[in-house]
């Protein structure tokens, strides 16, 4: 029932009180203990301190963390981990010069994944998704949000959300489910957007809520996808059913979508590759978490979220993977943290804050995840022997994780 981690060279993200997020200049501060111990009891963080003051715990299971860094598991607040098949052909098409938008116009992109998903049995989708979830757990993810959005039919969306529910029931990681029926307009609704949004609101949402399958609602608010007004209808409908919004916005264009999300009390606004001064102004003082997805920028060669400008304006920032078959076929949060440091010029402290406590906030899990705090879930990363946590983003292609504990249990 009790496990002691001792001789920890650096214990990161140690917070005495339950803070829910860090913003602006606070993001540069990553509280840590050197030469520390941490006690786990019943899957929770019971206590921690310095080795020089360690109480006599007597006989209990011990893990020697000499030379190792221990930190909370990554909190990946934006993924599309449940999908069927892959889009490797579009990857090669992009290498040969087509853009994401051009591929989508030819019927590829999201509609391509929707076609495959609707043709694939639920059990197959589950098995494919299990492999991805197991992989990201080994890569240190202990809490994750997963979206629907490749069904685009009532049955397809329910199928995806049921798969997410099965993952929740069968795995110890914390999972939040987001309904993303408003991901793209199916071909048959291309010239009748209102009819598709009516279908989402009048048929999909009630069915999803009846089975209690979603925690949040999402829409792809973007030129050529869902307009500000259309996304506002979705957010309002979600609110009626008690589903706060987490919105894809400002990936390619800035069309005042962020202001609409803040007005609707969105929990997060995600992507933000294109950010205007007006967008930054509306986020100031709001409770909405901006979420950057740098491995998406990397994979499809679009701009990176202007982290320095946003942090200088006092905003918080979270980092997530966007794991999906089209724009980011990777759920590796270590790579996200490294890319944020290398390409967005976030410091390691800022990037780790963004990938832990702020990520937890962006999926409503800040009370239980994202920091080393007494009473929080003992989901922890133990690194291989390293000299400092700076090595995590520095050695961007190496796997520096030795062990992962989820709710106090070592992954096998
Ligand atoms: N941009 C919208 N949705 C996904 C990509 C979906 C896809 O291409 O399959 C994203 O977040 O990047
Ligand atoms: Zn996404």
Q: Is 253 helix (H, G, I), strand (E, B) or coil?
A: coil
Residues 127 and 189 both lie in one domain: yes
Ligand nearest to the CA of 250: 1
- What is the spatial distance between Cα 33 and Cα 50, in angstroms, rounded to a whole number? 7
Phi, psi at 44, each rounded to 5°: -115, 160
Size of the chain, expressed as the number of residues it contains: 412
Atom of ligand 1 nearest to the CA of 251: 1
Residue 376 shares a structural domain with residue 318:
no
CA 326 – CA 90 distance, rounded (Å): 8
CA gap 47, 270 in Å, rounded: 34
- From the CB of residue 52, how many other CB atoms can be counted at a distance below 10 Å? 7
In a shared domain, residues 105 and 55: no
CB 325 near ligand 1, within 6 Å: yes
Would you state the pLDDT for residue 107? 84
Per DSSP, 201 falls in state I
Q: Which one of 248, 303, 320, 331 would you pick to mutate in the ligand 1 pocket, going by the greatest count of ligand atoms within 8 A of its CB? A: 248
Which CATH number is 66's domain given? 2.30.40.10
Q: What's the CA-to-centroid distance between 249 and ligand 2, angstroms?
A: 10
pTM across the whole model: 0.98
User: pLDDT value at position 228?
Assistant: 98
pLDDT in tens, 260-301: 999 999 999 999 999 999 999 999 989 999 999 999 999 999
**29 & 86 share domain:** no
Which residue ranges make up the annotated binding site?
78, 80, 87, 150, 183, 248, 251, 322, 324, 326-327
**Cα-to-chain-centroid distance, residue 255:** 24
Establish whether residue 295 lines the binding site of ligand 1, counting it when its CB lies within 6 angstroms of any ligand atom: no
Tell me how far apart the alpha carbons of residues 272 and 254 are, in angstroms, rounded to a whole number: 9
Q: Which ligand is nearest to the CA of 94?
A: 1
- Please state the φ and ψ torsions of residue 300, each to the nearest 5 degrees: -110, 15
Contact indicator for 74, 46 with CB cutoff of 8 Å? no
Same domain? 296 vs 262: yes
Same domain for 106 and 89? Answer: yes
For 17-39, give one letter per residue: b (16+ CB within 10 A) or e: eeebbbbeeebeebebbeebbbb
Query: Considering Cα of 259, then 260, then 261, then 265, what sign does the dihedral take?
Result: positive
- The CATH number linked to 218 is 3.20.20.140
pLDDT at position 320 is: 99
Are residues 94 and 180 located together in one domain of the fold? Answer: yes
Same domain, 81 and 47: no
DSSP class per residue in 339-388: HHHHHH---HHHHHHHHTHHHHHTTT-TTTSSSB-TTSB--EEEESS-S-
Measured in angstroms, how far is the CA atom of residue 248 from the centroid of ligand 2? 6
* Cα–ligand 1 centroid distance for 398 (angstroms): 27
Residue range of the domain that includes 226: 75-361
Per-residue pLDDT of the chain (412 residues; tens, 9 = 90+): 899 999 999 999 999 888 999 999 999 999 999 999 999 999 999 999 999 999 999 889 999 999 999 999 999 999 999 999 999 999 999 999 999 889 988 889 999 999 999 999 999 999 999 999 999 999 999 999 999 999 999 999 999 999 999 999 999 999 999 999 999 999 999 999 999 999 999 999 999 999 999 999 999 999 999 999 999 999 999 999 999 999 999 999 999 999 999 999 999 999 999 999 999 999 998 999 999 999 999 999 999 999 999 999 999 999 999 999 999 999 999 999 999 999 999 999 999 999 999 999 999 999 999 999 999 999 999 999 999 999 999 999 999 999 999 999 999 8
Strands 409-410 and 401-406: antiparallel
Do 34 and 83 belong together in one domain?
Answer: no
How many structural domains is the chain composed of? 2
The Cα 394–Cα 389 span in angstroms is: 9
- Of ligand 1's atoms, which has the minimum distance to the CA of residue 87? 9
Structure tokens that stand for 335 in this block? 């790579």
- Residue 265 DSSP symbol: T
Same domain assignment for residues 350 and 377: no
Are residues 286 and 180 part of one domain?
yes
Distance CA 403, CA 406 (A): 10
User: Which of helix, strand or coil describes residue 297?
Assistant: helix
* ipTM of the complex in this document: 0.98
Quick one: 281 and 160 in the same domain?
Answer: yes
Helix H segments across 71-174? Answer: 88-95, 100-105, 110-119, 122-138, 154-170
Which ligand approaches the C-alpha of residue 183 most closely? 1
């Amino acid at each position: 029932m009790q496990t002691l981690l001792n001789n920890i060279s650096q214990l990161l993200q140690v917070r005495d009180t339950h803070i829910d997020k860090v913003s602006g200049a606070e993001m540069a501060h990553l509280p840590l203990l050197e030469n520390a111990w941490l006690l786990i009891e019943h899957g929770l963080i019971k206590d921690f301190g310095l080795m020089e003051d360690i109480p006599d715990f007597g006989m209990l299971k011990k893990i020697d963390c000499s030379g190792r860094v221990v930190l909370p598991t990554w909190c990946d607040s934006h993924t599309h981990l449940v999908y069927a098949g892959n889009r490797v052909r579009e990857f090669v098409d992009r290498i040969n010069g087509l853009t994401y938008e051009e591929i989508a116009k030819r019927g590829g992109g999201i509609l391509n994944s929707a076609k495959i998903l609707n043709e694939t049995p639920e059990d197959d989708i589950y098995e494919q998704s299990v492999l991805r979830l197991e992989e990201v757990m080994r890569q240190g993810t202990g809490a994750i949000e997963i979206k629907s959005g490749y069904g685009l039919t009532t049955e397809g969306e329910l199928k995806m959300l049921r798969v997410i529910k099965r993952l929740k029931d069968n795995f110890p990681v914390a999972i939040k489910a987001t309904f993303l029926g408003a991901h793209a307009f199916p071909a048959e609704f291309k010239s009748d957007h209102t009819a598709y949004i009516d279908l989402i609101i009048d048929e999909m949402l009630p069915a999803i809520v009846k089975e209690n399958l979603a925690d949040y609602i999402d829409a792809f608010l973007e030129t050529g996808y869902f307009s500000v007004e259309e996304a506002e209808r979705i957010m309002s409908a979600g609110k009626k059913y008690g589903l706060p919004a987490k919105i894809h916005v400002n990936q390619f264009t800035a069309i005042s979508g962020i202001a609409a999300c803040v007005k609707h009390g969105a929990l997060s606004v995600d992507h933000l590759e294109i950010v205007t001064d007006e967008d930054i102004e509306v986020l100031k003082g709001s409770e909405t978490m901006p979420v950057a997805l740098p491995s998406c920028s990397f994979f499809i060669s679009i701009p990176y979220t202007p982290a320095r400008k946003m942090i200088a304006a006092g905003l918080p920032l979270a980092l997530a993977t966007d794991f999906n078959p089209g724009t980011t076929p990777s759920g590796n949060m270590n790579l996200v943290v490294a890319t944020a440091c290398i390409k967005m010029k976030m410091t390691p402290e800022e990037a780790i804050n963004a990938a832990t406590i702020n990520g937890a906030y962006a999926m409503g899990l800040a009370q239980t995840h994202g920091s080393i705090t007494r009473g929080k879930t003992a989901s922890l990363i133990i690194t291989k022997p390293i000299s400092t946590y700076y090595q995590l983003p520095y050695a961007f292609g190496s796997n520096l994780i030795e062990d992962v504990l989820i709710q106090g249990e070592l992954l096998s």
